[in-house]
């Protein structure tokens, strides 16, 4: 009896193949590439700040410090503790955009205007977040790689030896 083995091979997206490279992020994980469409019409201040930080290579090497299976994967804190950021708060831009699987939204404290650099990718529909968190993007491809990010433990989702963002780039800047 012959045994056939098939491998999923993901070819990274080339910037030239992207419809709007200025509003597209290429997020590299050790598992593969995640392509995120930014939504400046929904959250212009947040998209502008994410692009600024990305172009400064702020996110490169940053940990996915909080990952709750069946909910979301959170990153963007350079300290890896969940308490850090870039030092610049962004005023909330809440919308009616749904937090469906693949939505990318800003993490924040209790103050609605406390978002900074931390964001999360929703791994399951989470409509309880709608209108309460600033949604600024959506995953176009690579959710299978987001699903592979190491999960945390307990209700807080703290991750031991977390996965990192290998690199994150604005597609328009990739040659």
Q: Is residue 6 part of a domain?
A: no
CATH number of the domain encompassing residue 125: 2.40.100.10
Q: Is residue 2 part of a domain?
A: no
Cβ neighbours, 10 Å, residue 8: 6
Closest residue by Cα to residue 64 from 161, 171, 139: 161
- Domain span including residue 96: 16-173
DSSP, collapsed to helix, strand or coil, labels residue 55 as helix
Question: What's the burial of 129, exposed, middle or buried (CB within 10 Å: 0-12/13-18/19+)?
Answer: middle
Q: Is residue 168 part of a domain?
A: yes
Per-residue pLDDT of the chain (175 residues; tens, 9 = 90+): 444 443 444 455 555 567 899 999 999 999 999 999 999 999 999 999 999 999 999 999 999 999 999 999 999 999 999 999 999 999 999 999 999 999 999 999 999 999 999 999 999 999 999 999 999 999 999 999 999 999 999 889 999 999 999 999 999 999 8
Q: Is residue 79 part of a domain?
A: yes
Q: Under the phi-then-psi rule, with left for phi > 0, alpha for psi from -120 to 50, and beta for the rest, what region is 154?
A: left
The count of domains in the chain is: 1
Q: Is residue 4 part of a domain?
A: no
């Amino acid at each position: 009896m012959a045994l056939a083995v098939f491998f999923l091979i993901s070819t990274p997206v080339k910037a030239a193949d992207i419809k709007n490279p200025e509003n597209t992020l290429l997020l590299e994980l050790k598992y593969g590439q995640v392509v995120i469409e930014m939504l400046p019409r929904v959250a212009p201040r947040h998209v502008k700040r994410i692009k600024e930080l990305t172009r400064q290579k702020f996110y490169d090497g940053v940990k996915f410090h909080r990952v709750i299976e069946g909910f979301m994967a959170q990153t963007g804190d350079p300290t890896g503790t969940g308490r850090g950021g870039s030092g610049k708060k962004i005023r909330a831009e809440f919308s009616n955009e749904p937090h469906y699987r693949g939505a990318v939204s800003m993490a924040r404290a209790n103050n609605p205007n406390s978002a900074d650099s931390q964001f999360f990718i929703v791994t399951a529909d989470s409509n309880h977040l709608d209108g309460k968190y600033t949604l600024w993007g959506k995953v176009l491809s690579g959710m299978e790689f987001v699903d592979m990010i190491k999960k945390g433990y307990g209700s807080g989702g703290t991750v031991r030896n977390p996965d990192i963002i290998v690199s994150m780039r604005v597609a328009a800047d990739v040659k």
